Structure 1
Amino acid sequence: MTIAVPERNTGTGPERTTEIRRRELAAFLRSRRERITPEQVGLPRGPRRRTPGLRREEVAQLSAVGVTWYTWIEQGRAAHVSAQVLDAVARALLMDPTERAHLFALAGTHDPRSGPEYPVAAKTALKVVERLAPYPASLQNARYDVLAANRPYAQLFGDPAELPPADRNCLWLLTTSARWKRDFLDRDEMLRDLIAKYRAGMAEHVAEPAWKQQLNRLLEASGEFRELWRRHEVAPMSPHVKRYRHPRVGLIRLEHRNMWLAPQSPAHRVVAYLPADEESEERLERLAELPDERPAG
């Protein structure tokens, strides 16, 4: 079988970016191959070995990949490398989870062996969320899962820690929570906007199981969500003011601000809810003096 070999791209734009990623992938694989000794993978060293680490044909043998195809990958000549090949090569080169994730990221391919996401918030991120009090704040991922929240957030919106892990999601709560439907005066507009943002964000994660599972759960749970999802609307991240009616302190107008903890789009972000006027700030301060409420709703 003849496999077409792509020509080198010396221009700019997406094609140039793809070419750079291929070269980075090739260099990364060479570096990993050269650090593995034959003894580590059960191969004899032999008296005439000159190559540091493993030979290309040995990696191909260990991963059950054709020697020519593996050579092209290491030379940056492979147009697309499948997840199966990447998985086999990662195993052959004894990659740890961080190296494996980097390998798949360079190849632009989703890792089928990545398990469900159980995010652990960094202590520094948790400290930022806590220090924003008396302003409500939460730590969220790209899917709008609430990973952590401070006390003002719990008082105003309900404590996420009291909910099942799968329910600690802004889309899920806007769709199903009686409390959020009652207290969020702009709830219908918020839901449309959040679904549009979620669709825009999902374009980069459409093959990831966690995103698929979450979307299917929302589609099954809500006819309203299904109707809005079928509109195919997209929207960017942007600051906006929303109104909340707390049963004990009254109307609070808050502006949402996102603070990204890393430049990559899947990174966690701190979402701060800042008072849009003096009256709202005063009511947040009053809320901070109240005892905690339960249940979360």
Structure 2
Amino acid sequence: MDKHELAAFLRSRRERLRPEDVGMPSGPRRRTPGLRREEVAVLAHISTEYYVRLEQARAPRPSGEVLASIAVALRLTDAQADHLHVLAGVAPARTGVHRRDVRPSVLTLLERLPATAGFVMSAAFEVLAWNELAAALMEDFATLEPDERNLARRAFLDGHSTGTPLFGLEDVASFRHHVVMELHATLGRYPSDPAVRGLIHDLREGSAEFARLWEQHDVQARPALTKTFRHPAVGLVTVDCDTLTLADRDQHLVLYTAAPGSRDAESMQLLAVLGPNQLHSTRTS
């Protein structure tokens, strides 16, 4: 929690609001711009003393509920409310559901990366979009049911008929830890999303390992910078893994690349030539 930055942010937003912006009479001439601190406290349903201490950088960390009330009182946008939570060191909570629609520009970008395996993943680990090389390296996502395109389900429940966990990924244990950590954060952002809550329920009921890891409440996991796949056509393929955040939709663009001139790069080139359609019969035969 950055108390001084939080205090400065609160003051700046309060001073930009006029009484009439929040349905209050402007009254006589004011000595300071914007709302008074006690007016914000009334609107946020918290004590004036506590709000004053927040602006003086002397208050303890506010709860998520208090921050949400202050965000409403100060008429913050979603982005500003998220920033408020970040300054307070509290994960922002969203009342809606996570997004599954992918920006057209991102879809175009995927198609313009022929030497890179790329896919877009939702906050609930659903694979939403992919390019041909990603399908050739991992699996032809177009042939899978939506639940089978969920990486969290594949990592823990492995309900797909091939019996291959997580598309042939070698280090599944590390990815499982990452999934649990991220789903804790996702639930904090979307506490009322039925899809998120349903996914976590299914994983806790269907996987003893997930239930055990979930109860540990780990909040940090070292991101994997490389991944190795055991592919039925080309054998082991090790790729660099870069994950880009698509902040406007709370999604991630995952990119797999191989070092130029390496055996792995040759394998990726071969997969690009073969494509997912020819490889699908190899996987299921």
* Contact preservation (8 Å) 2:180, 2:210: no
Equivalent in 136, 139, 159 of residue 120 of structure 2: 139
Q: Which stretch shifts more, 228-237 or 81-90?
A: 228-237
Distance 1:196 1:148 in 2: 24
Q: Which stretch shifts more, 137-146 or 84-93?
A: 137-146
Distance 1:178 1:42 in 2: 56
Residue 55 of structure 1: how far off its partner (Å): 0.7
Residue 144 of structure 1: how far off its partner (Å): 3.9
Residue 251 of structure 1 pairs with residue 234 of structure 2: yes
Equivalent in 130, 139, 158 of residue 157 of structure 1: 139
TM-score, with normalisation over the residues of structure 1?
0.73
* Contact preservation (8 Å) 1:200, 1:236: no
Residue by residue, what CA displacement relative to the aligned partner does 1:58-105 show, whole Å, maximum 9, x if unpaired?
A: 111222211111100111111111122212211111112111111112
The residue matched to 1:261 in structure 2 has which SS?
A: strand
Residue 288 of structure 1 pairs with residue 285 of structure 2: no
The residue matched to 2:30 in structure 1 has which SS?
A: coil
Using CA pairs below 8 Å that are at least 6 residues apart, which structure has the higher relative contact order?
2
Distance 1:102 1:232 in 2: 24
Residue in 1 that maps onto 2:201: 216
* Contact preservation (8 Å) 2:244, 2:252: yes
Residue by residue, what CA displacement relative to the aligned partner does 1:242-273 show, whole Å, maximum 9, x if unpaired?
A: 2122xxxx334322322233599x87242325
CA RMSD across the alignment: 3.8
Structure 1 residues 115 and 256, CA gap change in structure 2 (3 angstroms): farther
Distance 1:134 1:33 in 2: 50
Equivalent in 94, 97, 116 of residue 75 of structure 2: 94
Residue in 1 that maps onto 2:110: 129
- Match of 1:272, as an amino acid? Y
Residue by residue, what CA displacement relative to the aligned partner does 1:42-71 show, whole Å, maximum 9, x if unpaired?
A: 211122322211111111122221111110
The residue matched to 2:240 in structure 1 has which SS?
A: strand
Equivalent in 155, 158, 181 of residue 176 of structure 1: 158
Equivalent in 20, 26, 31 of residue 7 of structure 2: 26
- Match of 1:221, as an amino acid? G
Unmatched runs of 5 consecutive residues or more in structure 1: 1-17
Residue in 2 that maps onto 1:110: 91
* Contact preservation (8 Å) 2:132, 2:272: no
Structure 1 residues 160 and 58, CA gap change in structure 2 (3 angstroms): farther
- Match of 2:204, as an amino acid? L
Residue 26 of structure 1: how far off its partner (Å): 1.0
Residue in 2 that maps onto 1:260: 243
- Match of 2:270, as an amino acid? R
Structure 1 residues 41 and 31, CA gap change in structure 2 (3 angstroms): same
Distance 1:263 1:231 in 2: 28
Q: Which stretch shifts more, 30-39 or 216-225?
A: 216-225
- Match of 1:257, as an amino acid? D
Matches within 5 A, 1:161-240: 163-164=145-146, 167-174=148-155, 175-179=157-161, 181-182=163-164, 189-199=170-180, 201=182, 207-208=188-189, 209=191, 214-223=199-208, 225-226=210-211, 236-240=223-227
Q: Which stretch shifts more, 150-159 or 196-205?
A: 196-205
TM-score, with normalisation over the residues of structure 2?
0.75
Residue 109 of structure 1: how far off its partner (Å): 1.8
Distance 1:231 1:192 in 2: 15
Q: Which stretch shifts more, 103-112 or 47-56?
A: 103-112
Distance 1:227 1:251 in 2: 35
Q: Which stretch shifts more, 124-133 or 99-108?
A: 124-133
- Match of 1:23, as an amino acid? H
Residue 84 of structure 1 pairs with residue 71 of structure 2: no
Structure 1 residues 121 and 289, CA gap change in structure 2 (3 angstroms): closer
Unmatched runs of 5 consecutive residues or more in structure 2: none
Residue in 2 that maps onto 1:270: 254
Q: What fraction of aligned residue pairs are identical, expressed as a percent?
A: 31
Matches within 5 A, 1:3-82: 18=1, 21-82=2-63
Residue 158 of structure 1: how far off its partner (Å): 2.3
Residue 121 of structure 1: how far off its partner (Å): 3.7
Residue in 1 that maps onto 2:229: 242
Alignment size in residue pairs: 269
Residue 237 of structure 1: how far off its partner (Å): 1.3
